[in-house]
Amino acid sequence: MNNQQRKIARGERNNNPGNIDYNPANKWQGQLPHDPAIEKRFCRFVTAEYGIRAIYKLLQTYQRKYGLNSVAAIINKYAPPVENNTTGYIRRAADDIGVGINDHINTTDKKTGIALATAIVSVELGYQPYSDATYEKAWGLL
């Protein structure tokens, strides 16, 4: 299926490929004003790079603030079992970045941060629309 035939996921339309929930307390760089008429639940960003940057920042906050240092711990918080197949999500993300689900990772490490965000986007959208350059550019916004 080519790009014209594929249904665009909400996360891609919102430039929020991690499907980060809107919270008025979070003032993300590049975030568009919340407009429930357009999108009730999730943040919207001016570009995909800002949406990916928000994923990086969230993952780093999980490590710094909550001490979550493995794919299993991070994804359990990011995508709780209440609304996700968290076990499958964890396995896929760990496989994608080449670590065990309980291995210690550092999300401030560029290679690890980009790999985990790329895995998250693939799961959240169900496909991967962004190039490596997009993830690099988003990392540069940190």
Could you write out the DSSP letters of every residue in 27-93? --TTBPPP-TTT-SSB--BSSHHHHHHHHHHHHHHHHHHH---SHHHHHHHHS-TTTS-HHHHHHHH
Whole-model pTM: value is 0.93
Average pLDDT of the residues in 7-30: 96
What are the pLDDT digits (tens) for 35-81? 999 999 999 999 999 999 999 999 999 999 999 999 999 999 999 98
Alpha-carbon torsion, ordered 134, 77, 63, 89, to 10 deg: -50
